[in-house]
A and B are shown apart, each in its own frame.
Chain A
């Protein structure tokens, strides 16, 4: 690093700072306006094209999942968090079966007796039940369905710290 010209390091640091600003300041309150990227550009003091280019680049690098709405669970259709205790030797097979359902949008292996956790969503509660029943039949493993009863989190996104020792709020 010592051989790098200082100007290059400055530019790199500046870019990281810009990315951090962009990712932290606009996790909520993304403008609902005709030209949202131009509005963001104004706030960051860069051009609209620079905002679009940066987001496109972050998207290509998979640092950005998407720009868009986060829907409140259980508002659009019915959903549940489900858990299964899968014998170790069947984990891959059962996980593949569960993931193959289009109704499943998250599926995680976790370190616990209940080692497979997934979120299933359907357009209504009856359809969701029939999907879970079908999964139980296919896998011969009982499913714990733990639907959300109350949401206590006020979702404003998640603060990221990309710069070592940088400001974080």
Chain B
């Protein structure tokens, strides 16, 4: 994403029709010959408008990607470890990008600390087929961070209590 695109992302506001398209597609596109036509028909819109608006939302970063979304858990990726890191403020931008570029990291966010009980400001989600695989991948991150890692933990999930796609009202 270019600097210009990033700047536009900050200011772009979706409108009511964009919201309708999001609401109609967030549970998935139909598995039919012309899925966008079906969405357009349902919303009483022109298919060209649906395609343009989805492209626009993608360009502006509202939509990150459109694709097939597998169920990782069902495919054997049963271990998900949320690795959390305490990184000095002045280094977090550079190191966040480094960790976020690793292909085994599926999410990488900077979040606020909550002192004293929560000192961690960088979150990197690591998936694997086993706990050991996740631990090995987290070790790779630790060695990349070196002395700039002031402490880390892995929080393994023990139970998925609820998981649905994004819903908006």
- Which residues of A approach B to under 8 Å, CB–CB? 22-23, 26-30, 32-38, 48, 52, 55-56, 59, 61-72, 75-77, 81, 83, 95, 98-99, 102, 104-114, 117-118, 121, 123, 144, 146-160, 162
Contacts and interface: CB of A to CB of B under 8 A. Distances in A.
Interface string B67-79: 1111110110100
A85 to B, nearest CB: 8
A150 B22 contact: no
Given A66-B27, A108-B161, 13 more contacts: A28-B67, A30-B66, A59-B31, A69-B58, A71-B62, A111-B155, A114-B117, A148-B109, A149-B111, A149-B112, A151-B108, A153-B108, A160-B70
Contact of B82 (A69, A107, A110): A110
B66 A123 contact: no
Q: Shortest 9 CB-CB distances between A and B: which pairs?
A: A66-B28, A152-B100, A152-B96, A28-B65, A109-B159, A107-B162, A150-B110, A153-B108, A153-B100
- Interface size on B, as a range, is 35 or more
A67 B28 contact: yes
A32 B51 contact: yes
Interface in B45-72: 47, 51, 54-55, 57-58, 61-72
Contacts of B57: 69
Interface of B: 9, 14, 19, 22, 25-29, 31-37, 47, 51, 54-55, 57-58, 61-72, 74-75, 77, 82, 93, 96-97, 99-101, 103, 105-112, 114, 117-118, 123, 127, 153, 155-169
A51 B153 CA distance: 42
B111 A81 contact: yes
A35 B168 contact: no
A108 B68 contact: no
Nearest to B105: A153
Contacts of A105: 162-167
B131 to A, nearest CB: 10
Contacts of B22: 69, 71, 76
Contacts of B114: 144, 146
B36 A32 contact: yes
B162 A71 contact: no
B109 A150 contact: yes
Contacts of A107: 160-163
Contacts of B71: 62-65
A155 B68 contact: no
Contact of B31 (A67, A108, A111, A149): A67
Given A32-B55, A123-B169, A155 B65 contact: yes
A109 B99 contact: no
B168 A76 contact: yes
B155 A117 contact: yes
A59 B47 CA distance: 25
Contacts of B101: 154
Contacts of A157: 65, 67
A3 B35 CA distance: 43
Contact of A52 (B14, B31, B74, B127): B31
10 contacts: A29-B65, A67-B69, A68-B165, A76-B14, A109-B157, A121-B166, A146-B118, A151-B109, A157-B65, A160-B75
